[in-house]
Chain A
Amino acid sequence: MVTKNLVRVKVNGQDCEAEIEPRLLLAHFIRDVLGLTGTHVGCDTTNCGACTVILDGRPVKSCTVFAVQAEGREIRTIEGVANHGQLHPLQEGFKEEHGLQCGFCTPGMILSAYALLEKNPHPTEEEIRWGISGNLCRCTGYQNIVKAVQYAANKMSGEKHAA
């Protein structure tokens, strides 16, 4: 009989708990146990970053974290980026600047950019490119993703300024 562990995490502000196998990957926990399917899995070697979520403020590839390692911690997934139906400036930026095509890399890409802007609200183009360098996109060639992040950075600094 496989032993199961209780894991308690806060996901997008909500407390969740489940009995899980210790080997369950965080990506599968989020998708299969919590039913949050916006987190995607695109590889098996920690290269693609489609599964990126934010764990206690840091972007992590959730395919390379065990769910039990998230015990007691806070997770933000793509489903928790918009604010009460209002798109986050990054989500808006991706749409406005055509920063996505098939959409598969988009959630992970947005979360990496989210973490980047938290740390560095005014990144240069090079800093943006390095900031999303753990996320692969096969469709866009990144150019419009860079613009999308710049759009968000501008909008967010404008909002702060206005406030």
Chain B
Amino acid sequence: MLHKTSPEIGGMGHSVKRKEDLRFVQGKGTYVEDVRLPGMVYGQMVRSPYAHARIKAIRTEEARKLPGVLAVITGQDLEKAGLSWMPTLFHDKQMVLATGKVLFQSQEVAFVVAEDRYTAADAAELVEVDYEDLPVLVDPHRALDADAPILREDREEKTNHIFHWEVGDRKATESVLQSAPVKAKLDAFFPRCHPAPLETCGCVADYNSATGKLTVWETSQAPHAHRTLFALVAGLPENNIRIIAPDIGGGFGNKVPIYPGYVCAVVASLQLGRPVKWIETRSENLQSTGFARDYHMTAELAADRDGKLRGLRVKTLADHGAFNAAAQPSKFPAGLFSICTGSYDFATAFCEVDGVYTNKAPGGIAYRCSFRVTEAAYLIERAMDVLAQELKMDPVELRLKNFIPGDKFPYQSPLGWSYDSGDYHAAMNLALEKIGYRDLRKQQEDKRKNGELMGIGVSSFTEIVGAGPAHTFDIVGIKMFDSCEIRVHPTGKAIARMGTKAQGQGHETTFAQIIAQELGIPVADITVEEGDTDTAPYGLGTYASRSTPVAGAATSMASRKIRDKARKIAGHLLEVSEEDLEWEPGKFYVKGAPSKSKTIQEIAFAAYTNLPPGLEAGLEAVHYYDPPNLTFPFGTYICVVDIDKGTGEVKVRRFVAVDDCGNIINPMIVEGQIHGGLTEGLAIAFMQEIAYDENGNIQGGTFMDYLVPTAVETPNWETDKTCTPSPHHPLGAKGVGESPNVGSPAAFVNAVVDALAHLGVRHIDMPITPWKVWQILKAKGVAE
């Protein structure tokens, strides 16, 4: 049981107002673009207009002649330093600046450095590149055809195939599928989309030739990992590299990888001995940095006539673009996609994924998603509706019948996961009650009689977050632990530093709340710092909803180490043995004599002024936490839509989100995360796609055509929660930031398909634009 803390202390469960907001509401945050150093110059990328072309020549003379231009760096220049290619985060390499040929539109070809950003942009226009067109491969289904162009000449294997990965029992699943009385099959494409944080990626690289120290201010979700990679790739001593991730304007996975712009800025600073700033434009961000999804999936479900599930088979083709730049744990080529059995009790399952190269931007990053969990949740939740249609059964009834029962936790999934805890019926029942499900079904029936189109979509997702246990999880070899170091000062105030890096999640508040919970030091007295690799302990960073499950646990454990020492000091001050002391947040008191007590502040002072003999001075601790398992948040989302038969426009009338992320640190922040994730889910379901035409031209490379919902399109979200604590997390917490983005796309799509089901519609691929809907209405003869 967790102690209750007062609002003044502000431990777990208090909606403490955010400490970071005072600077943000006054425009006093420090984002990378706000860093200005004496002598700083600006870098600008020259990019390829072609998706696949051989580079015949690059002429830089005119650009170099422009007054104010300091350097033009090409792939050939980088080659001499052994830096024209760099490793990706997933067993592949990527060109920093193109040599030989380009493999996607907007690929980095040259880097221009000038005294100011306008001159740099002018000079980039003056770099002339001669290209010779090559055949373009856009359709991943054609990647393995005999006549498909081989994209990666640098690889020994002359194929566009990257990997095959499978898990589960192929034979048993096949036989279940053959023998089952009811089968349902779904082909679903999860389109290529982009995290598009409002701040684009960028850096300021500052090499000091006198000290040999390289400092890089960088939009990084994982500054420590970046430091190690810079050391390994550039051969610089790691103690002479300092990465500083200052305030970050949203990340959502986009800021996990290392991008060519960072490397070029570092090279330019090394070359010029001046600080070099490189900030990409929005269009460059959408066109060249880590995309997400792009999974072509097939799910086959086997069931009995009463709807009892018997087996699941999943086959997926993954489009990785020109380089496999997926940012995910090294043993998982398809991330945690094998969570695709979802919330359901399958006896048998099999899942296989093949990855291929195409002439598209590289990536495959975990966009607000714990490594392909979004694709998995979408697929199973969509497939369940297809099966319900097949069975002519209510989709809610089908789900309730097949949920993993509460008494089966910890639950071993057929694809190898051990779900820590769950109560899926409770979340579903609360969502049904909140939205008034039965009445809505009745209303839908009435509306159909009047020719009106209304749909209800349900999604009961299970997430898998908090990567991860060291025995299985690493990124480029570095185990996925995370860390916290706490120092309590003599006056009882404290500073904590973490291996994570917030991009809007509010860590300065929530991690302070964990310390407040564990030590009783008020949140107001605790400073939380992240992102400076010279001061923070090593950690793998913030993505995949891992901060609370891993670094949050480390914070708890570091606090407990401090409390153990504080107990010794309190015993000394109160002249009793440690065993005779009781703890409540903020003080130790003598058992049976509560008036005899010492506050944590008094103890902190004594830690520097009045120590028991033999005890080291100071009150600080560091903890590196290796989670014993992942955590499995879940929830049920229900969406109600109305469709305009004249325009095909889908209006979200209501959306109820019931989430269960275990014990909550700050309910206000959790709710805010859910609002935000649902809005991103709405965008993915209805608006966004980074598509390519047959020549590999990007359709969706600016905010003019890659749409972000405004306040007008975004509905009000209705949120609620159940609470099933994680049994293995020290605070019973689970992680939540991604759940709404993982769980909501299926709810939206299920609602639209449900509205059109009586017309014979079985599936519609995202994004469900008005045009797409109108075409269906027209084909079905119901458009007005």
Mark A residues whose CB is within 8 Å of B: 21, 23-24, 28, 31-32, 35-45, 47-48, 50, 77-79, 81-82, 87, 91-92, 94-96, 98, 100-107, 110, 128-130, 132-146
- When distances are taken between beta carbons in the complex, the residues of chain B under 8 Å from A48 are 198, 282, 703, 708
Contact of A102 among B118, B248, B708 (CB under 8 A): B248
Q: A105, B198: Cβ atoms under 8 Å? A: yes
Q: Which residues in window 671-691 of B have CB below 8 A to A?
A: 671-673, 675-680
A53 to B: closest C-beta gap in Å? 10
Question: A141 vs B681: C-alpha distance in the bound complex, in angstroms?
Answer: 10
Mark B residues whose CB is within 8 Å of A: 17-18, 20-31, 33-34, 36, 117-118, 196-200, 247-250, 252, 281-283, 503-506, 668-669, 671-673, 675-680, 702-704, 708, 710-712, 714, 716-717
Q: B118, A103: Cβ atoms under 8 Å? A: no
Interface centre among B18, B247, B249 (most CB of A within 10 A): B249
9 contacts between A and B (CB under 8 A): A37-B31, A37-B34, A43-B282, A101-B672, A106-B25, A135-B710, A136-B710, A138-B250, A142-B711
Q: A102, B703: Cβ atoms under 8 Å? A: no
Beyond A45-B703, A140-B672, list 14 extra A-B contacts (CB 8 Å). A23-B118, A40-B31, A40-B198, A47-B704, A48-B282, A79-B28, A91-B25, A95-B22, A102-B503, A103-B29, A106-B27, A135-B710, A141-B677, A141-B678
- When distances are taken between beta carbons in the complex, the residues of chain B under 8 Å from A37 are 27, 30-31, 33-34
Q: A98, B668: Cβ atoms under 8 Å? A: yes
Q: A138, B712: Cβ atoms under 8 Å? A: no
Question: A107 vs B680: C-alpha distance in the bound complex, in angstroms?
Answer: 21
Q: A128, B711: Cβ atoms under 8 Å? A: yes
Query: Nearest residue in B to A36 (C-beta to C-beta)?
Result: B27
- When distances are taken between beta carbons in the complex, the residues of chain B under 8 Å from A105 are 198
Q: A45, B29: Cβ atoms under 8 Å? A: no
Q: B26, A38: Cβ atoms under 8 Å? A: yes
9 closest A-B pairs by beta carbon, nearest first, are A38-B27, A102-B504, A104-B249, A103-B24, A78-B27, A141-B675, A141-B679, A101-B504, A47-B703
Interface centre among A31, A39, A42, A135 (most CB of B within 10 A): A42
Interface centre among A48, A132, A135, A143 (most CB of B within 10 A): A143
- When distances are taken between beta carbons in the complex, the residues of chain A under 8 Å from B34 are 37
Query: Nearest residue in A to B281 (C-beta to C-beta)?
Result: A44
Q: A137, B198: Cβ atoms under 8 Å? A: yes
Q: A94, B717: Cβ atoms under 8 Å? A: no
Q: A28, B247: Cβ atoms under 8 Å? A: no
Q: A104, B676: Cβ atoms under 8 Å? A: no
Query: Nearest residue in A to B196 (C-beta to C-beta)?
Result: A138
Q: A82, B26: Cβ atoms under 8 Å? A: yes
- When distances are taken between beta carbons in the complex, the residues of chain B under 8 Å from A39 are 27
Q: A129, B711: Cβ atoms under 8 Å? A: yes
B308 to A: closest C-beta gap in Å? 38
A80 to B: closest C-beta gap in Å? 9
With contacts A47-B704, A106-B24 taken as known, whether A140 is within 8 angstroms of B676 at the C-beta atoms is: yes
Q: A94, B710: Cβ atoms under 8 Å? A: no
Query: Nearest residue in B to A82 (C-beta to C-beta)?
Result: B26
- When distances are taken between beta carbons in the complex, the residues of chain A under 8 Å from B252 are 138
Query: Nearest residue in B to A35 (C-beta to C-beta)?
Result: B36
- When distances are taken between beta carbons in the complex, the residues of chain B under 8 Å from A133 are 710-712
Question: A130 vs B197: C-alpha distance in the bound complex, in angstroms?
Answer: 22
- When distances are taken between beta carbons in the complex, the residues of chain B under 8 Å from A142 are 675, 679, 710-711, 714
Q: A40, B676: Cβ atoms under 8 Å? A: no
Question: A133 vs B703: C-alpha distance in the bound complex, in angstroms?
Answer: 14
B502 to A: closest C-beta gap in Å? 8
- When distances are taken between beta carbons in the complex, the residues of chain A under 8 Å from B199 are 40, 42, 102, 104
Provide the main secondary structure of the chain B interface. loop
Contact of A144 among B36, B198, B247, B675 (CB under 8 A): B675
With contacts A91-B26, A141-B675 taken as known, whether A129 is within 8 angstroms of B712 at the C-beta atoms is: yes
Provide the main secondary structure of the chain A interface. loop
Q: A94, B198: Cβ atoms under 8 Å? A: no
Query: Nearest residue in B to A80 (C-beta to C-beta)?
Result: B27
- When distances are taken between beta carbons in the complex, the residues of chain B under 8 Å from A129 are 710-712
Interface centre among B24, B118, B676, B702 (most CB of A within 10 A): B24
Question: A134 vs B711: C-alpha distance in the bound complex, in angstroms?
Answer: 9
Question: A32 vs B282: C-alpha distance in the bound complex, in angstroms?
Answer: 19
Question: A91 vs B22: C-alpha distance in the bound complex, in angstroms?
Answer: 8
Query: Nearest residue in B to A79 (C-beta to C-beta)?
Result: B27
Q: B36, A42: Cβ atoms under 8 Å? A: no
Question: A47 vs B677: C-alpha distance in the bound complex, in angstroms?
Answer: 21
- When distances are taken between beta carbons in the complex, the residues of chain B under 8 Å from A79 are 26-28
Question: A124 vs B708: C-alpha distance in the bound complex, in angstroms?
Answer: 23
Q: A139, B281: Cβ atoms under 8 Å? A: no
Contact of A101 among B30, B33, B505, B717 (CB under 8 A): B505
B684 to A: closest C-beta gap in Å? 12
Q: B712, A130: Cβ atoms under 8 Å? A: yes
Interface centre among A28, A130, A136 (most CB of B within 10 A): A136
Q: B676, A98: Cβ atoms under 8 Å? A: no
Question: A58 vs B250: C-alpha distance in the bound complex, in angstroms?
Answer: 28
Q: A102, B250: Cβ atoms under 8 Å? A: yes
Question: A21 vs B20: C-alpha distance in the bound complex, in angstroms?
Answer: 36
Q: B675, A104: Cβ atoms under 8 Å? A: no
A42 to B: closest C-beta gap in Å? 4
Question: A137 vs B200: C-alpha distance in the bound complex, in angstroms?
Answer: 13
With contacts A94-B21, A133-B711, A141-B678 taken as known, whether A45 is within 8 angstroms of B282 at the C-beta atoms is: yes
With contacts A98-B18, A102-B197 taken as known, whether A44 is within 8 angstroms of B505 at the C-beta atoms is: no
Query: Nearest residue in A to B280 (C-beta to C-beta)?
Result: A44
Query: Nearest residue in A to B703 (C-beta to C-beta)?
Result: A47
With contacts A35-B36, A103-B249 taken as known, whether A96 is within 8 angstroms of B17 at the C-beta atoms is: yes
Contact of B711 among A40, A81, A146 (CB under 8 A): A146
Interface centre among A41, A95, A140, A142 (most CB of B within 10 A): A142
Question: A82 vs B22: C-alpha distance in the bound complex, in angstroms?
Answer: 11
A144 to B: closest C-beta gap in Å? 6
B512 to A: closest C-beta gap in Å? 16
Question: A103 vs B704: C-alpha distance in the bound complex, in angstroms?
Answer: 23
Interface centre among A24, A35, A48 (most CB of B within 10 A): A48
Interface centre among B36, B199, B506, B704 (most CB of A within 10 A): B199
Question: A134 vs B30: C-alpha distance in the bound complex, in angstroms?
Answer: 24
Question: A137 vs B249: C-alpha distance in the bound complex, in angstroms?
Answer: 10
With contacts A38-B26, A38-B27 taken as known, whether A44 is within 8 angstroms of B282 at the C-beta atoms is: yes
Question: A141 vs B713: C-alpha distance in the bound complex, in angstroms?
Answer: 10
Interface centre among B26, B31, B200, B505 (most CB of A within 10 A): B26
Q: B282, A143: Cβ atoms under 8 Å? A: no
Q: B703, A138: Cβ atoms under 8 Å? A: no
Question: A43 vs B250: C-alpha distance in the bound complex, in angstroms?
Answer: 14
Question: A91 vs B21: C-alpha distance in the bound complex, in angstroms?
Answer: 9
- When distances are taken between beta carbons in the complex, the residues of chain A under 8 Å from B250 are 101-102, 104, 138-139
- When distances are taken between beta carbons in the complex, the residues of chain B under 8 Å from A77 are 27
Q: B672, A144: Cβ atoms under 8 Å? A: yes
B221 to A: closest C-beta gap in Å? 12
Question: A152 vs B64: C-alpha distance in the bound complex, in angstroms?
Answer: 53
- When distances are taken between beta carbons in the complex, the residues of chain A under 8 Å from B26 are 38, 78-79, 81-82, 87, 91
- When distances are taken between beta carbons in the complex, the residues of chain A under 8 Å from B249 are 40, 42, 102-104
Question: A87 vs B34: C-alpha distance in the bound complex, in angstroms?
Answer: 22
Q: B717, A143: Cβ atoms under 8 Å? A: yes
Question: A50 vs B248: C-alpha distance in the bound complex, in angstroms?
Answer: 14
Q: A100, B675: Cβ atoms under 8 Å? A: no
- When distances are taken between beta carbons in the complex, the residues of chain A under 8 Å from B668 are 98
- When distances are taken between beta carbons in the complex, the residues of chain A under 8 Å from B17 are 95-96, 98
Question: A135 vs B199: C-alpha distance in the bound complex, in angstroms?
Answer: 13
Question: A78 vs B27: C-alpha distance in the bound complex, in angstroms?
Answer: 6
A107 to B: closest C-beta gap in Å? 5
- When distances are taken between beta carbons in the complex, the residues of chain A under 8 Å from B505 are 101
Q: B711, A145: Cβ atoms under 8 Å? A: yes
Q: B18, A95: Cβ atoms under 8 Å? A: yes
- When distances are taken between beta carbons in the complex, the residues of chain B under 8 Å from A137 are 198, 711
Query: Nearest residue in A to B27 (C-beta to C-beta)?
Result: A38
With contacts A95-B25, A98-B668, A104-B199 taken as known, whether A138 is within 8 angstroms of B680 at the C-beta atoms is: yes
